[in-house]
A and B are shown apart, each in its own frame.
Chain A
Amino acid sequence: MNRVFRVVIACVMLSASAAYAQSDATRQKGNEVFQYWCATCHGRGAGMPGTIALTAKYKGALPGALEDRTDLTPQAVRFVVRNGAAIMPFFRKTEVSDADLDAITEYLVRRSPQPGERANTGR
């Protein structure tokens, strides 16, 4: 293997793992922000207004807790946080900043199909 090629490979691997580490950190932060701002209504336990409402909405077709969903799209999460949904009000940027919202989104869509493999992106 020539030297240039080896360097290229190393660079690619480095940047891939850096990207991976970065999205890991973003998800971790997303998890924290979600627990602080959203889990109080969307958590898994009892007495959670968001979880109760979504359980009723989907009648078992989808999980009630947002963290268990595998169909959420980034667009849907962003839209709801900035526009509200029924009784859920929208959030100001002094509460959930754009960076926080990016992180929450990344966290909530972590188990959704990647773009391209997504069967149904429409909501």
Chain B
Amino acid sequence: MAIPPGVSNRDWQTALQQFVQAVGESGVFTSDEDIGLYRDAYSPLWEEPEERLASAAIAPTTTEQVSEVVRVANRFRIPIFPIATGRNLGYGGSAPNLSGSVVVDLKRMNRVIEVDDRRHFAIVEPGVSYFDLYRHIQDRGLKVWIDCPDPGWGSPLGNALDHGVGYTFGAYRDHFHSHCGLEAVLPNGDVIRTGMGALPGAKTWAEYRYGFGPTVDGLFAQGNVGIVTKMGFHLLPAPEAYQTSVVTVPRRNDIVPLIGLVNELEHAGLIGQPGYGSPLAARRADLEELLKRPGGPPAEDLDRFAQEQKLGSWTCRLQFYGAPAVIAAHIAYAKDRFTRDIPGATFEDGELLRFPLTQEQLDSVRKVAVGIPNLAAFGGRRGSDGHLWFAPVIPKTGEAVLEAQRVFMDVFARRGGPALISPFSMPATWMYRAFVFLMGFPISRSDVTVNQRTRETMREIIKVAAEHGWGEYRAAPAFQDDVMAAYSYNNSALLRLHETIKDAIDPNGIMAAGRSGIWPRHLRGRRA
């Protein structure tokens, strides 16, 4: 067992005893075997000296216990790092930013406090997974949907606190945005409630976000000023039906009106999450010569190939939610608009699904699109030990997508090795008002050269993105300093404000030191 940095052996032993008093023997993990389970399974630093490792883990079951644990840590200046369900794979797993931190593992705080299907909200503790919340709702026949990310074993609370994203309708997909009210333990052990929750006996904690006065909730997401112990979320009323329609457009340059129109439908609330693709992506082998052209393949040549092969250039899966009559009207309207604006657009409608689904429909539906948590996203990655996400935010336009393709393909061309981006790559569309040009870089638990290469590419591509005005929405701890460094407007004025806030709320710098590149005063010099 490692000792946290800057803590004497005597203080450490006393603190461990006090942790045991706070949460009981069964809530304190100190053996190498147990602590090893807090390693990031997809760490880009696996087995290297810089790998971020915990010194111990504490698993409280109540807010009072969390508060007591934090008081002990603050007394002895022990760095702590909270996790909810700790499944942040690709963005850091359950490991801390600062090696030697004590992980505060909230998995055992797993109560669903409330789900209301008339006012459409839920209040949950950190350890409640999407699977748990879904089951709670199903068991009681409640008429609400959750919006889940790909991995169902994560938590509404943990996911939202890393600005996580999902797959159904509108702004529900932005999980921090759809939160409403939270309870948190501050570094001095104080418990606060935000929004209406600050009013004792409040009746609308999970309904009205702001309460009165400035809002501080944002400080707790990707931040390090406290441990969140409860969180409210707005939920989507369960729709009656769901249907998809895939629109295909013939020419490469149709990407501009395609995205423009989809934006309009989406921002007006007519469709849920759009899903872009290109039928040409599967035909890259046939296009090898064209793709090798300096400056990229000419659009006319790609169009000719697409036409000969009777393929479109781009597709978008439109998703419609609501009453069948409303869906039919929205589909008709969408088709009318596409047909008018993009000559040659074609459509393929999916089956109209009415809820509840039959078993057969359940087996074939894209589960995340209808709010059913699952783990299917871990499929199709055989031979891989995991991956590291690179997640730059780019504008929601066709021009931006084509530019991002070119810029990122250049990075791969310069660095050699396999390119993760082709002229057919499309961005992820979880965010309501922006795209994420997501890439998953390989990591390995047996070959450090894979990880070294991935790290070099990450550092370079973060810089290149910033030069084009694109920043990452999220990153693994090993790259959070790099990402924050890109957000440098006015001599890093925002980071300086974060540091001022950090020092004021957490003078001993115990809480999640280094998260998002925000270090406490005594560690600031060591910023990577």
Contacts and interface: CB of A to CB of B under 8 A. Distances in A.
Contact of A89 (B41, B59, B127, B152): B41
Contacts of A117: none
Given A41-B375, A87-B386, A93 B37 contact: yes
Nearest to A92: B37
B397 interface: no
B375 A40 contact: yes
B363 interface: yes
A95 B107 contact: yes
A90 interface: yes
A94 interface: yes
Contact of A86 (B29, B34, B59, B384): B384
Contacts of B363: 45-47
Contacts of A53: 379, 382
Interface string B93-113: 110000000000101100000
B326 interface: no
B386 A89 contact: yes
A33 interface: no
Contact of B379 (A36, A48, A89): A48
B153 A40 contact: yes
B261 interface: no
Given A40-B152, A53-B382, A89-B89, A94 B41 contact: no
B212 interface: no
B41 A41 contact: no
Interface string B33-53: 110011001100000000000
Q: How large is the interface on A (under 10, 10 to 19, 20 to 34, 35 or more residues)?
A: 20 to 34
B294 interface: no
A100 to B, nearest CB: 13
A25 B27 CA distance: 26
Contacts of A86: 381-385
B376 interface: yes
B141 interface: no
A56 B384 CA distance: 14
Contacts of A52: 379-380, 382
Majority secondary structure, B binding face: loop
A40 B131 contact: yes
Contacts of A50: 378
B156 interface: no
Interface in B372-411: 374-386
A59 to B, nearest CB: 12
Interface in B7-34: 29, 33-34
Contacts of A88: 378
B196 to A, nearest CB: 31
A113 interface: no
Interface string A18-55: 00000000000000000010001100011111101100
Contacts of B374: 40, 47
Interface string A83-116: 0101111111111000000000000000000000
17 contacts: A40-B375, A47-B379, A49-B377, A49-B379, A50-B378, A52-B379, A84-B445, A87-B386, A89-B42, A89-B89, A89-B93, A92-B38, A92-B57, A92-B94, A94-B57, A94-B105, A94-B108
Q: Which 8 A-B pairs rank lowest in CB-CB distance, beginning with the nearest?
A: A89-B41, A49-B379, A49-B378, A94-B107, A92-B37, A47-B376, A40-B375, A94-B59
Interface of A: 36, 40-41, 45-50, 52-53, 56-57, 82, 84, 86-95
Given A47-B376, A88-B378, 17 more contacts: A41-B378, A48-B376, A49-B378, A49-B381, A50-B378, A57-B382, A87-B384, A87-B385, A89-B42, A89-B87, A89-B89, A92-B94, A93-B29, A93-B34, A94-B59, A94-B108, A94-B127
